[in-house]
Amino acid sequence: QFSFQENGWGASLAERLVRKCDVVNRGLSGYNTRWAKLILPRLITGSTSAESTVAVTIFFGANDSALKDLNPKQHVPLEEYAANLKSMIQYLKSVDVTEDRVILITPPPLQESAWEKECLAKGDKLNRRNATTGEYARACVQVARDCGTDVLDLWTLMQKNQDFSSYLSDGLHLSTKGNSFLAAQLWSRLEKKLSALPSLLPYWRDVDHMNPEASLL
């Protein structure tokens, strides 16, 4: 949901793709795969033109991997998380969005000390663990292998920099730097798919001002 905020990764992709295609944000703050699986047919319907859908990203795991005892509302068991991802991929295929156009994104790593401060400020205990998030990230990667989709392993890539805290604003959510990192990683996967897309309507200097109909209709 926050991807279209200022400096968000969705906004960054939309800016790159102006007059090429629309970037549609269907992220929902706080949701997990159990809920997303149920509402996906409402977000991408059978009447959606599959031919005009270049790519769909599925980015879940940070909420599913919340600790069951401390955050039962958002927690989804690991096996169910993987099954839910597969179910969403299968649904997309049923409306003719093929697996080669689906990109799974693993949850980012959790910076526990920073997130613990956020939890304590609300009177809660630390309700996530980075090692647990890593299990969900690995499950996400395995689902991509099983289903033939692309995958962006954010959890692993961000931790190649030992101090990954700068990628996160509060230990859990992406910072400006984290958004920029995700946008760059996604663009490297999307560029080939999108490079051949024509620009929507001609550049203004190329319009015949004496006969605009000839250029625009």
Q: How high is the pLDDT of residue 159?
A: 96
Query: What mean pLDDT comes out for the span 65-76?
Result: 96
Flag whether 4 is in a domain: no
Q: How high is the pLDDT of residue 115?
A: 96
Tell me the pLDDT tens digit for each residue of 145-189: 999 999 999 999 999 977 899 999 999 999 999 999 999 999 999
Question: pTM, whole model, 2 decimals?
Answer: 0.92
Q: Which helix (DSSP H) or strand (DSSP E) does residue 187 occupy? A: helix 176-194
10 Å CB burial of residue 73 (0-12, 13-18, 19+) is: exposed
Flag whether 173 is in a domain: yes
Tell me the pLDDT tens digit for each residue of 104-149: 999 999 999 999 999 999 999 999 999 999 999 999 999 999 999 9
Write the CATH number for 169: 3.40.50.1110
Could you give the CA distance from residue 53 to residue 132 in angstroms, rounded to a whole number? Answer: 33
Domain that holds residue 151: 9-215
Q: What is the DSSP letter of 74?
A: T
**What is the count of structural domains for the chain?**
1
10 Å CB burial of residue 13 (0-12, 13-18, 19+) is: buried
Could you give the CA distance from residue 210 to residue 217 in angstroms, rounded to a whole number? Answer: 14
Among residues of the chain, what percentage have pLDDT more than 90? Answer: 81
Flag whether 62 is in a domain: yes
